[in-house]
């Protein structure tokens, strides 16, 4: 899981990050943890995270406003799960409107964090799954949720991810067989796209959340659109 801790108190951020890393290690949950002292810097890269521990009461932009901004993003990619952290019980009712995963009060953070991490990992599940490829001489484990699309290049396929591009000697047909059950769709002969990145669908093309436009060929159109709508229904 990619986890963020947002709090204007740097001491608390460091303490929370240490506890999260320790408990994830004890529970064999793969994680990376980043700390932020304001909501604005987090919002610039919010889509990269699976889970965020968010202080409600902060200057400049408070936790409720951060959560509303995340919910209002038009990106098709999944938003991070939110755990509100607060000392003020009177803010809890307002925070419920943002449908958080949970609440943790700062005085009980240390005792409550373990069960909260376990609950988050159970919900995220498949999003954290890895797909192993052979890129040159290296074996690379890609997070499925980080793969935006895959394109055929001669005898290779190129994985376009949030961390860069990775080339593997393989075929689109083989990648479709591996990844179709994980939400990948084939719009034409040379591409596979991750359903979670599709921002807009038209009859002729799709627009991904990274603003890449990919054509839908006549041969694949009917099957692509049917599978796309099925995924939309299952997601709701």
Q: How many residues does the chain have?
A: 236
Say what the alpha-carbon torsion angle 170, 183, 66, 117 is, to the nearest 10 degrees. Answer: -90
| Domain boundaries along the sequence of the chain | 2-127, 129-235
Q: How confident is the model at residue 127 (pLDDT cuts 50, 70, 90)?
A: low
**Alpha carbons 108 and 70: distance in angstroms, whole number:** 26
3-state SS class at 234: helix
Residue that wins the pLDDT comparison between 20 and 87:
20
pLDDT above 60 (res 77) = no
**Alpha carbons 201 and 197: distance in angstroms, whole number:** 11
Task: Quote the pLDDT of residue 128.
Answer: 64
Closest CA to 117 of 12, 32, 1: 1
Output phi, psi for 70, to 5 deg. -60, -45
Q: How confident is the model at residue 93 (pLDDT cuts 50, 70, 90)?
A: low
In percent, the amount of the chain with pLDDT more than 70 equals 89
Residues 6+ apart with CB under 8 A from 235: none
Task: Quote the pLDDT of residue 75.
Answer: 46
List the 2-6 sheet strands across, edge first: 32-36, 2-6, 51-55, 81-86, 102-105
Q: How confident is the model at residue 90 (pLDDT cuts 50, 70, 90)?
A: low
* Average pLDDT for the chain: 87
Residues 6+ apart with CB under 8 A from 49: 2, 3, 4, 34, 80
Whether the CB-CB separation of 197 and 76 falls below 8 Å is answered with: yes
Output phi, psi for 176, to 5 deg. -65, -40
Q: What is the pLDDT of residues 111-124, one digit of tens each?
A: 999 999 988 888 77
For residues 139-166, give the mean pLDDT: 93
Q: Which two tokens stand for residue 42?
A: 């987090």
Whether the CB-CB separation of 116 and 102 falls below 8 Å is answered with: yes
Output phi, psi for 38, to 5 deg. -155, 155
3-state SS class at 27: coil
For residues 91-101, give the mean pLDDT: 62
Beta pairing, strands 130-135 & 81-86: unpaired
pLDDT above 60 (res 58) = yes
Task: Quote the pLDDT of residue 74.
Answer: 45
Task: Quote the pLDDT of residue 104.
Answer: 87
pLDDT above 70 (res 91) = no
CATH of domain 2-127: 3.40.50.2300
Q: How confident is the model at residue 76 (pLDDT cuts 50, 70, 90)?
A: very low
Output phi, psi for 33, to 5 deg. -125, 130
Whether domain 129-235 has CATH 1.10.3720.10: no
pTM recorded for the entire structure: 0.58
Task: Quote the pLDDT of residue 96.
Answer: 61
For residues 71-83, give the mean pLDDT: 67
């Amino acid at each position: 899981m990619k986890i963020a801790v947002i709090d204007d108190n740097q001491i608390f951020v460091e303490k929370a990050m240490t506890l999260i890393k320790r408990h994830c290690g004890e529970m064999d949950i793969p994680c990376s943890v980043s700390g932020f002292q304001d909501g604005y810097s987090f919002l610039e890269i919010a889509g990269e995270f699976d889970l965020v521990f968010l202080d409600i009461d902060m200057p400049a932009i408070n936790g409720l406003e951060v959560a509303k901004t995340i919910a209002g993003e038009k990106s098709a990619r999944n938003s991070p799960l939110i755990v509100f952290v607060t000392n003020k019980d009177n803010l809890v009712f307002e925070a419920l409107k943002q449908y958080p995963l949970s609440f943790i009060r700062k005085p009980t953070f240390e005792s409550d964090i373990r069960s909260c991490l376990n609950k988050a990992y159970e919900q995220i599940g498949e999003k954290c799954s890895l797909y192993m490829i052979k890129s040159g001489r290296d074996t690379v484990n890609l997070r499925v949720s980080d793969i935006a699309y895959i394109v055929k290049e001669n005898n290779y396929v190129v994985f376009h991810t949030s961390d860069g591009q990775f080339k593997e000697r393989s075929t689109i047909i083989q990648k479709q067989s591996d990844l179709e059950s994980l939400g990948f769709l084939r719009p034409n002969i040379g591409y596979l796209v991750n359903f979670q990145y599709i921002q807009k669908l038209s009859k002729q093309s799709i627009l991904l959340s990274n603003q890449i436009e990919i054509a839908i060929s006549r041969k694949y159109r009917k099957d692509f659109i049917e599978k796309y709508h099925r995924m939309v229904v299952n997601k709701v």
